[in-house]
Amino acid sequence: MKKETIQISGMTCAACSGRVERVLNKTDGIIKASVNLATERATVEYDPQRIRLAEIWQVIEKTGYKVVRLEKKDAADEHKKRKDREVAALWRRFYVAAGFGLPLLYLAMGSMIPWPSFPIPNFLDMMENPLNFAVAQIVLTLPILIAGRRFYTVGFKALIRRSPNMDSLIAIGTSAAVVYSLYSTYRIWNGDHHAVEGLYFESAGVIIALILLGKSMEAVSKGRTSEAIKKLMGLAPKTATVIRDNKEIEIPIDQVEIGDVILVKPGDKIPVDGEVTEGNTAIDESMLTGESMPVDKKAGDKVFAATINKNGSIKFRATKVGSETTLAQIIKLVEDAQGSKAPIAKLADIVSGYFVPVVAAIALLAFGAWLIAGESLAFALTIFISVLVIACPCALGLATPTAIMVGTGKGAEHGILIKSGEALEAAHRIDTVILDKTGTITEGKPEMTEIITAFGISEERLLQLAASAEKGSEHPLGQAIVRGAENQGLSLLPISGFEALPGQGILVKVDGLQTLIGNKKLMDEKGVDLKELGSESDRLASEGKTPMYIAADNRLMGIIAVADIVKQTSEKAIKKLRSMGVEVVMITGDNQKTAGAIAKQVGIDRVFAEVLPQDKSDEVKKLQAEGRRVAMVGDGINDAPALVQADIGIAIGSGTDVAMESADIVLMRSDLMDVPTAINLSKSTIRNIKQNLFWAFGYNVAGIPIAAGVLHIFGGPLLNPMFAAAAMSLSSLSVLTNALRLKRFKPYH
């Protein structure tokens, strides 16, 4: 199976995107297709053994829309240029339509209003020279029709294919006005001067001008919804300075190869992902992680494309280039999310599929009903045009994708990568969050927390003995003690006869003393009396710390406590989740006592302890069996099955690639505060979508009866087609403006 994203031009409303999607999903060889109106993209999963990409392009083009073929290397720039050209062309067409539409409106309506400063010339007076009046309107209308010709070419083609869209409604409505006006002009030419009241050129002209204005503003607003992607794309530098034959050479970024050694000076951007080989610096990674503090880097540390080198020169070896860099992966992830559909969008898709034919039928019924009721042909025609124009389903098609685009873009801005519309929607229903302990609630790196001495030995001497003994050990707890001594600037003592005792500790001679370091089991086995520090060791265990006993010449010297310390924001994040009505559960392989101590420290009531890695997904299933909607937050390879099993899998960004691949949401900052932020972003986005759908549906439900003349039956006003056109354009703009309000979303800190 292959997955491709195809750029499509020519779609104007939900009926267009709905038709392309239906045709693609019925095509043999295509497994699943989703078409997004806001991004103008089709995401297609297909079997390359049964259908080729070129054949999929042909299917799309047969439906009447154009496939935009872009070179992948320059796709982003080309797409932006094309959209800029389209927006500029829309504005030009609007200026033409407005330039001729205003005098047309003035000519048609001016005789009804006293104009002391700008009276209509006598030779164009509708009563005295009706034929001149009609011909002048034709002359002014023609350039407007040419400016809006796309509505007719696309709209009538869609009608012929029996898949009418928004353009079809505009084309039918304005064509009816123009044809009837031409017929009235013919009657005037034959001497029937009363036919001057049947001229509707200004309705057609002003409708096209207003819709072109709405489309131009809509295109600008749609551009603003994808600003997050543009920002990310603009981050990558265009060149890199590589070291070849001991010379510095500046080359284009796409010529950098894996293994190249790259020089980066202060203030420069890192061109590709790599590993530092030489130098020390601090790097601003905020554009990837949202973390404002620069991160210190030394030899062996990873660096990422587009991050900014602050204060030192470094050399690094390229490990990922082109589409493999973290930045490129993030851009692809956000683009895929923005192009995907949330399940809530299906409602709009279903409605839009039937909407245009139903509206056309309502317009015809209203037209016929008013004629039967005894109204004039001109009156019935006004109703017919108003219904067609007001009912265009643009707002319906934009309601969901625009909110998803802004929501996922806003998330990326703050280091929260949401992989799909489905994930964005599902997150707002989460009522239970499972947090893996190690590396998620805690730092995942043991640290020395306490030194307790016995028999009059000083803390420094005890730490020096222990660190010297552990220098040769690779155990994480031993390494924590060594780091503790290094941080205090202690010099290490000579050792001999190092012996590792698996599952217990080590035996080694330090500075002439036979030294034991390890757990209670080792001390009991070697006959070391622990009574003096018994209560202290119990206290440490109850606090979730691991006591490391140190004995010299079979005599207890003291305890060094080591613990995987809790992240600074863990307690605050858990408190926030609970305040949102979300139950928090901790899962760990640790024993019940240690797990309980950590849980108590951060405010978690429910703990799954002593859980084997392969059993984590079973614990998720148990909670789901209780009817809960579960989010699993983890960072390790052993978390991947649980991340997949959960309703939403959330990977901590500092974790493994496997965990990030398995997850629906990736938190680049490794900060638990981003979990409630992600859930809140989902809630805000879904609320925004519901508001958009309410206004889009509500507008059409209210607008169509008014346009059909329901109010007129009870003595109310009749809707002028020009006001219908203005209202239709405003409905799309209101949906876009509402979606853009999500840009004001603020993360929790």
Radius of gyration of the chain (CA): 35
Count H helices, E strands: the chain? 26, 26
CA angle 551, 553, 559 (to 5 degrees): 10
Three-class secondary structure assignment of 613-653: HHHHHHHHHHHHHCCCCEEEEECCHHHHHHHHHCCEEEEEC
The percent helix, strand, coil of the chain (3-state, each to 5) is: 55, 20, 25
- Which residues, 6 or more positions from 143, have their beta carbon under 8 angstroms from its beta carbon? 96, 97, 99, 100
Alpha-carbon span 104 to 75, nearest angstrom: 43
Q: Which of 284, 436, 639, 674 is catalytic?
A: 436
Half-sphere exposure of 657 (CA within 13 A, CB side): 5
Helix pair angle (75-109, 201-225), 10° resolution = 150
User: Which of 80, 81, 84, 76 has the alpha carbon at shortest distance from 5?
Assistant: 76
Torsion of CA 297, 299, 305, 310, to 10 degrees: 40
DSSP string for residues in 600-616? HHHT--EEE-S--GGGH
> Mapping DSSP to helix (H, G, I), strand (E, B) and coil, where does residue 71 land?
coil
Let me know if 536 is exposed, middle or buried by CB neighbors in 10 A (0-12, 13-18, 19+): middle
Amino acid occupying residue 267: G
N- to C-terminal Cα distance for the chain? 42
Contact in structure between 664 and 645 (CB atoms under 8 Å): no
- Which residues, 6 or more positions from 233, have their beta carbon under 8 angstroms from its beta carbon? 76, 331
> Mapping DSSP to helix (H, G, I), strand (E, B) and coil, where does residue 24 land?
helix
User: Which of 1, 3, 8, 2 has the alpha carbon at shortest distance from 70?
Assistant: 8
Alpha-carbon span 258 to 372, nearest angstrom: 78
Contact in structure between 643 and 632 (CB atoms under 8 Å): yes
Q: In 421-503, where do the E strands start and end?
A: 432-436, 442-453, 495-501
Any catalytic annotation for residue 436? yes
Catalytic residues: 436
